[in-house]
Structure 1
Amino acid sequence: MKLIIGDKNYSSWSMRPWLLLKHFGIPFDEVLIPLNEANTKAAITEHAPSGKVPCLVADDGSSVWDSLAICETLAECFPQHAMWPRDPVVRAQARSVSAEMHSGFGDLRSNMWMNIRASFPGKGAAPGALADVARIDALWRDCLERHGGPFLFGEFGIADAMYAPVVMRFNTWQPALSKASAAYAQRVTAQPAVHAWIDDALRETHRVSVYDTCA
């Protein structure tokens, strides 16, 4: 399999399926296409009909794009790994919180974008972004209380991979978090697959100026 991704420093969508593949030890080849360049869309479209990353290309040449769709496909293809919780009721909750991340939190995305190399403490604090932070904090606390941690549904899975880029945002922008959510963010950051992604991001030399500055 091949996973087509963008810059690890910036591409929150790419991070999610990459983490699952790495965490569960599933072999794949990585194809990284720098973002915001003149040929970026054309290069991605060679693999992904959407022209967006990420995209998973199977051995037979078929493609799956969109991070959540890729995660669902991986869960189906590798059922020996509990990417979703085994219990159907808990699995439904995990799907719900993952879909909420996938489709929501637009103000957070706009005001606190992912830039792992940057540090913007206290900035990006628009009212809508702070409301999104509060909702995420409450969601994390609820999952941790219900399922006992150390991750949202016990062991690291799709739901945690979906929120890992949010953890990267929180590390950069440093909004106020509850004690439980801050501890969860630290655990996610310390996960070997997440740590590997961060290390790669810090070594990247390609820069996208619009994401490297904050007024």
Structure 2
Amino acid sequence: MNRPTLYIGNKNYSSWSFRPWMALTGAGVDFEEILIPFDYPGGNPDIKAISPTGRVPLLQHGGLRIWESLAIIEYAAELYPDAGLLPADRADRALARSVSMEMLSSFRALRNACPMNIRRPRGKIALPEGIEADIGRIEAIWRDLLQKSGGPFLFGAFSGVDAMFAPVVNRFDVYDLVSQDDTLAYMKTMKAHPAWRKWEEAARAEPWIVAEVEV
């Protein structure tokens, strides 16, 4: 099988890149990583040269190009069915897809107010309207799934669903947004995962500083 290539952006900032990278890395998928930094005001032309949307992440597999985080994770789950990227049970897979899509399409207040930033010093900010509702809904999703599965990850073992929520873990942490014990315990589990630690180490070593925008 040809080894896929995952194109990503800056590890410190790119929440969309973080998701498929952590999913594939956490599942033990062998892939090549190519990082194209966001270092041009109008967007890096190297990204536009490989991605039809002009954005990353993008997975190249042979002549096939797959963009968008969740589409990449879904494709990898089909390509590597034993990697555990999706739950084995059909009902659990349906639920996994539901909460992953909700993460993909919702929580705009949280995204806008709290961009992912691995290097950000931990500290509170003034919370704009809507962000508390976003936080509460995410905590409810986590609590429900952890109670059903028994943890330590959302569906028991690490899966692509945990990777979909990985940037939220960073946001909750560095902006000091949550205090519930079960939420903090799940965040601790995520931050201890070897894939998270590898990404974080690389993010902290990056030289680039860009405006805090959702990327």
Band the TM-score falls in, shorter-chain normalisation:
over 0.9
Greater RCO structure (CA 8 Å; 6+ sep): 2
Partners of 2:126 and 2:89 lie apart in 1 by 38
Q: Which residue is equivalent to 2:152?
A: 150
Q: Which runs of 5+ in 1 are unaligned?
A: none
Q: Is the 8 A contact 1:5 1:33 kept in 2?
A: yes
Q: Which residue is equivalent to 1:172?
A: 174
**Shift of the alpha carbon at 1:101?**
0.2
Letter aligned with residue 160 of structure 1: D
Partners of 2:126 and 2:202 lie apart in 1 by 25
1:104–1:4 Cα change, 3 Å = same
**Shift of the alpha carbon at 1:36?**
4.8
- 2:141 pairs with one of 130, 139, 162: 139
Q: Is the 8 A contact 1:137 1:177 kept in 2?
A: no
**Shift of the alpha carbon at 1:121?**
1.6
Partners of 1:3 and 1:53 lie apart in 2 by 9
- Alignment pair present for 1:99 and 2:79: no
Q: Which runs of 5+ in 2 are unaligned?
A: none
Q: Is the 8 A contact 2:5 2:33 kept in 1?
A: yes
Q: TM-score, normalised by structure 2?
A: 0.93
Letter aligned with residue 114 of structure 1: M
Which deviates more from structure 2 when the two are superposed, residues 114-123 or residues 146-155?
A: 114-123
Q: Which residue is equivalent to 1:211?
A: 212
- 1:9 pairs with one of 12, 22, 25: 12
- Alignment pair present for 1:45 and 2:48: yes
Root-mean-square deviation (Å): 1.4
Which deviates more from structure 2 when the two are superposed, residues 123-132 or residues 45-54?
A: 123-132
Q: TM-score, normalised by structure 1?
A: 0.93
**Shift of the alpha carbon at 1:38?**
4.2
Count of aligned positions: 210
SS in 2 for 1:84: coil
